[in-house]
């Protein structure tokens, strides 16, 4: 699954088109129904920005195109007129380059300040706004488990399931503890760890997993046996070490 860092890489490669008027095509039939060519063709692409796992393309006239890659979406930047087979969702053609979106399951056009305002602060901002994240986490229902809350894009944008699991392990915080039971400095530490792990990945550091997909194996810190269990309304898989991430209502105990 493309995590926040893949979206940030796409945003930086699309910068070659920023400031240019673009020709817009939607070769894929599912994208063609969205009316994007009518509304975007010939407009100037003002900026491209990653916010959490969303790529936001701002066009002149206050139009914002949101692309979320889900499991399979990919952006590619190629030389203008490059040959390709297949039908991409979207082609944005500038003077010398074109950006091509393959399998773009989420593609929606909004007015600036629309739905996107609901996204929380970006974990990969430089620097991230930890105060604002903390404020949103504290405004949330405090009986919600921290492992679930960290994946809520309205509270903090961009933390994927893998990074959530690894950041909680690093800061010795059980995903099952409820927000009310986690002090501010511990939340801040976990957010900071998530930011540094994800930024490291962007900078080319190969991630070493301590709990993610290590179920049944020994914790490298305490020797405990790593567990997993679905968590939250979307049943995302939580991974944790019961030995050094104690507390909360842990399933099966």
Could you tell me the smallest distance in angstroms from the CB atom of residue 171 to Zn ion?
Answer: 12
Question: Helix 184-202 and helix 4-13: axis angle, to 10°?
Answer: 50
Could you tell me the smallest distance in angstroms from the CB atom of residue 222 to Zn ion?
Answer: 3
Peptide bond into 196 cis (omega under 30): no
Buried b (16+ CB within 10 A) or exposed e, 203-223: eeeeeeebbbebeeeebeeee
User: Among residues 43 and 209, whose Cβ is nearest to Zn ion?
Assistant: 209
User: Among residues 97 and 214, whose Cβ is nearest to Zn ion?
Assistant: 214
Instruction: Compute the distance between CA of residue 228 and CA of residue 235 in angstroms, rounded to an integer.
Output: 11
- Which position's Cβ is nearest Zn ion? 219
Could you tell me the smallest distance in angstroms from the CB atom of residue 164 to Zn ion?
Answer: 17
Could you tell me the smallest distance in angstroms from the CB atom of residue 245 to Zn ion?
Answer: 7
Spatial CB neighbours of 4, under 8 Å, sequence gap ≥ 6? 50, 52, 53, 122, 123, 124, 157, 158, 159, 160, 163, 198
Give contact residues for Zn ion (rule: CB under 5 A): 219, 221-222, 224, 241, 243-244
User: Among residues 150 and 219, whose Cβ is nearest to Zn ion?
Assistant: 219
Instruction: Compute the distance between CA of residue 122 and CA of residue 202 in angstroms, rounded to an integer.
Output: 14
Could you tell me the smallest distance in angstroms from the CB atom of residue 118 to Zn ion?
Answer: 36
User: Among residues 198 and 219, whose Cβ is nearest to Zn ion?
Assistant: 219
16, two tokens: 């070659």
Length of the chain, in residues:
253
Could you tell me the smallest distance in angstroms from the CB atom of residue 213 to Zn ion?
Answer: 16
User: Among residues 90 and 238, whose Cβ is nearest to Zn ion?
Assistant: 238
User: Among residues 27 and 224, whose Cβ is nearest to Zn ion?
Assistant: 224
Nearest to 4, CA basis, from 222, 198, 253: 198
Could you tell me the smallest distance in angstroms from the CB atom of residue 169 to Zn ion?
Answer: 8
User: Among residues 202 and 244, whose Cβ is nearest to Zn ion?
Assistant: 244
Q: Cα-Cα-Cα-Cα dihedral of 166, 202, 115, 24, to 10°?
A: -140
């Amino acid at each position: 699954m493309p995590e926040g860092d893949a979206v940030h890489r796409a945003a930086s490669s699309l910068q070659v088109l920023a400031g240019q008027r673009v020709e817009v095509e939607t070769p894929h039939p599912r994208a063609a129904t969205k009316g994007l060519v009518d509304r975007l063709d010939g407009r100037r692409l003002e900026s491209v920005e990653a916010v959490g796992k969303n790529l936001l393309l701002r066009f002149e006239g206050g139009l914002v195109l949101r692309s979320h890659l889900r499991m399979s979406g990919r952006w590619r930047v190629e030389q203008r007129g490059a040959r390709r087979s297949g039908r991409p969702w979207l082609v944005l053609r500038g003077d010398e380059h074109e950006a091509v979106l393959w399998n773009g399951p989420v593609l929606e056009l909004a007015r600036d300040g629309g739905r996107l305002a609901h996204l929380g602060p970006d974990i990969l901002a430089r620097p991230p706004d930890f105060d604002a994240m903390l404020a949103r986490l504290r405004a949330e229902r405090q009986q919600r488990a921290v492992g679930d809350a960290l994946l809520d894009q309205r509270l903090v944008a961009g933390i994927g399931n893998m990074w959530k699991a690894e950041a909680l392990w690093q800061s010795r915080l059980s995903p099952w503890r409820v927000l009310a039971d986690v002090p501010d400095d511990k939340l801040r530490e976990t957010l900071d760890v998530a930011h540094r792990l994800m930024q490291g990945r962007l900078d080319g550091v190969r991630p070493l997993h301590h709990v993610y997909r290590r179920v049944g194996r020994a914790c490298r810190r305490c020797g405990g046996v790593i567990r997993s269990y679905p968590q939250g309304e979307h049943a995302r898989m939580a991974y944790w070490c019961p030995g050094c991430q104690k507390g909360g209502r842990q399933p099966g105990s």
